[in-house]
Amino acid sequence: MKKIFGLMLLCAAMVCFLSCQKEEDNGIPKDVLLGTWKGVAAKVDDNWIDITKYPYESILGFSVTFYSDGSYYGRGAFGTGRGTYTLSGNTIKTYVGGELYMTYYVRSWTESTAQLTLSDSSGSLDVKVEKQ
């Protein structure tokens, strides 16, 4: 009886471990991504600056809205317009006219905040965003 109980306990622990591992590997869930995210801070010269206030809002202010149909709308410092996106793990790739426009590497996230590295052909920038 003790062997059966021990085997059942081991199986339960393995199932729990594997399901937790799978959850981590999936990255940011799509339902968390959907909605509007506004840039609130950017890392410049190793310092975080508030980009919601003057003069940085007009220079670095941005927001992006992700829709469930795979489209997005961005506005602000990185351009204004519509496109499509893909989500794979912690990487979001945006496309305009079928061409890769920008890649978002999600460094950390909650349901209402995230820290990202934005990357395009001209370079990269670390930012913090909040869900609106």
Surface-to-core class of residue 83, CB atoms within 10 Å of its CB (0-12 exposed, 13-18 middle, 19+ buried): buried
- β-pairing, 91-96 vs 99-109, is antiparallel
**What's the whole-model pTM score?**
0.78
User: What is the pLDDT, as a whole number, of residue 33?
Assistant: 96
Q: Is CATH 3.50.50.60 what the domain over 28-131 is classified as, yes or no?
A: no
74-126 tens-digit pLDDT: 999 999 999 999 999 999 999 999 999 999 999 999 999 999 999 999 999 99
In the chain, the percentage of residues whose pLDDT exceeds 90 is 80
Q: How far apart are the C-alpha atoms of 127 and 107, rounded to whole Å? A: 10
Maximum Cα interatomic distance, the chain, rounded to a whole number of Å: 72
Average predicted confidence (pLDDT) for the chain: 85
Surface-to-core class of residue 127, CB atoms within 10 Å of its CB (0-12 exposed, 13-18 middle, 19+ buried): buried
- β-pairing, 81-88 vs 91-96, is antiparallel
Residue boundaries of the structural domains of the chain: 28-131
Of the pLDDT bands very low, low, confident and very high (cuts 50, 70, 90), residue 3 is very low
pLDDT of 17 higher than 50: no
Using an 8 Å Cβ cutoff, are 83 and 101 in contact?
yes
